[in-house]
Chain A
Amino acid sequence: KAVVSTQSTGHLVDELLSSIDQPLKVAKDPKKNKDYLLCDYNRDGDSYRSPWSNEFFPPIEDGNAPSDRMRKLEEQANDAFDVYREQYFDGGISSCYFWDEEHGGFSGAILIKKTGDLKNKFRSSWDSIHVIEAHEKGAGRNAHYKLISTVMLWLQNTREGSGQMDLGGSLSRQVEKDLPVTADMFSHIVNIGGMVERMENNIRGILETVYFGRTLTVLNDMRSLVDLESKKAHDKLNQ
Chain B
Amino acid sequence: SGINAEYGSSGINAEYGGTPALVTKDGSVDGSKVFYDPGSNKNFTYKYLTGEATNVEGGTRDNGAEKWRKAVEDALAGYLKDNFPAFGSAVYGKLEGDTVSLTVAIENHKYNPDNFYCGKWTSRWSVEFPTSGGYAKVSGHMKVQVHYYEDGNVQLHTKKSAEESVQMGSVEEGARNLVEFIGRAEREYQLGINENYREMSATTFKSLRRALPITKNLVDWHKLHSLNIGRDLMNRTT
Does the CB pair B209–A88 fall under 8 Å?
Answer: yes
Given A172-B152, A214-B117, CB of A161 within 8 Å of CB of B222: no
Given A117-B207, A161-B188, A221-B110, CB of A76 within 8 Å of CB of B196: no
Query: Taking CB as reference atom, which chain B residue is nearest A90?
Result: B210
Q: Of B150, B218, B219, which is in contact with the most chain A CB atoms at under 10 Å from its CB?
A: B219
Query: Taking CB as reference atom, which chain B residue is nearest A203?
Result: B152
User: Residues 204-228 of chain A: 1 if any B CB is under 8 Å from the residue's CB, otherwise 0?
Assistant: 1101101110111011111111011
Query: Taking CB as reference atom, which chain A residue is nearest B162?
Result: A163
In the complex, which residues 2-28 of chain B have their Cβ closer than 8 Å to any Cβ of chain A?
A: none
Taking the closest CB of chain A, its distance from the CB of B78, in whole angstroms, is: 8
Does the CB pair A223–B160 fall under 8 Å?
Answer: no
Interface residue B48 (Cβ < 8 Å from any Cβ of A)? no
In the complex, which residues 93-151 of chain A have their Cβ closer than 8 Å to any Cβ of chain B?
A: 114, 116-117, 119-120, 122, 124-126, 150
Interface residue B212 (Cβ < 8 Å from any Cβ of A)? yes
State A79–B199 Cα separation when bound (angstroms): 34
Given A21-B153, A222-B109, CB of A126 within 8 Å of CB of B208: yes
Interface residue B134 (Cβ < 8 Å from any Cβ of A)? no
User: Residues 169-200 of chain B: 1 if any A CB is under 8 Å from the residue's CB, otherwise 0?
Assistant: 00000000000000000111111111111011
A residues near B186, Cβ cutoff 8 Å: 223
Does the CB pair B204–A211 fall under 8 Å?
Answer: no
Does the CB pair A80–B221 fall under 8 Å?
Answer: yes
Does the CB pair B155–A168 fall under 8 Å?
Answer: yes
Question: Which of A194, A208, A222 contacts B221 (CB under 8 A)?
Answer: A194
Does the CB pair B119–A219 fall under 8 Å?
Answer: yes
Interface residue B81 (Cβ < 8 Å from any Cβ of A)? yes
State A8–B35 Cα separation when bound (angstroms): 51
Taking the closest CB of chain A, its distance from the CB of B16, in whole angstroms, is: 23
Does the CB pair B156–A166 fall under 8 Å?
Answer: yes
Given A190-B221, A228-B85, CB of A162 within 8 Å of CB of B151: no
B residues near A155, Cβ cutoff 8 Å: 200, 204-205
Query: Taking CB as reference atom, which chain B residue is nearest A186?
Result: B225
In the complex, which residues 111-168 of chain B have their Cβ closer than 8 Å to any Cβ of chain A?
A: 117-121, 142, 144, 146, 148, 150-161
> Contact residue range for chain A?
35 or more
Does the CB pair A162–B222 fall under 8 Å?
Answer: no
Interface residue B83 (Cβ < 8 Å from any Cβ of A)? yes
> Contact residue range for chain B?
35 or more
Taking the closest CB of chain A, its distance from the CB of B10, in whole angstroms, is: 13
Question: Which of A84, A162, A220 contacts B189 (CB under 8 A)?
Answer: A162
Taking the closest CB of chain A, its distance from the CB of B155, in whole angstroms, is: 5
Taking the closest CB of chain A, its distance from the CB of B121, in whole angstroms, is: 5
Does the CB pair B148–A116 fall under 8 Å?
Answer: no
Interface residue A197 (Cβ < 8 Å from any Cβ of B)? yes
B residues near A165, Cβ cutoff 8 Å: 156-158, 193, 196
Given A163-B160, A212-B200, A218-B117, CB of A225 within 8 Å of CB of B190: yes
Does the CB pair A166–B158 fall under 8 Å?
Answer: yes
Interface residue B227 (Cβ < 8 Å from any Cβ of A)? yes
Given A163-B161, A171-B151, A211-B154, CB of A216 within 8 Å of CB of B219: no
State A29–B23 Cα separation when bound (angstroms): 55
Does the CB pair A223–B228 fall under 8 Å?
Answer: no
Given A225-B191, A229-B82, CB of A172 within 8 Å of CB of B158: no
Does the CB pair B224–A83 fall under 8 Å?
Answer: yes
Does the CB pair B196–A159 fall under 8 Å?
Answer: yes
State A237–B98 Cα separation when bound (angstroms): 49
Interface residue B231 (Cβ < 8 Å from any Cβ of A)? yes
Question: Which of A126, A186, A222 contacts B119 (CB under 8 A)?
Answer: A222
Q: Sample 20 A-B pairs with CB under 8 A, ordered by A number.
A: A80-B221, A89-B209, A116-B207, A122-B199, A153-B205, A163-B159, A166-B155, A166-B156, A166-B157, A167-B200, A186-B225, A190-B225, A194-B218, A204-B209, A219-B119, A220-B190, A221-B110, A222-B85, A222-B108, A227-B82
Instruction: Please name 13 further chain A to chain B contacts, defined as beta carbons within 8 Å, in addition to the given A79-B224, A166-B155, sorted by A numbering.
Output: A84-B219, A120-B199, A124-B208, A160-B192, A161-B195, A162-B160, A163-B159, A167-B157, A193-B224, A208-B205, A219-B156, A219-B193, A228-B85
Which A-B residue pairs are the 8 nearest by beta carbons? A163-B160, A161-B192, A162-B192, A171-B152, A169-B154, A87-B213, A212-B201, A218-B119
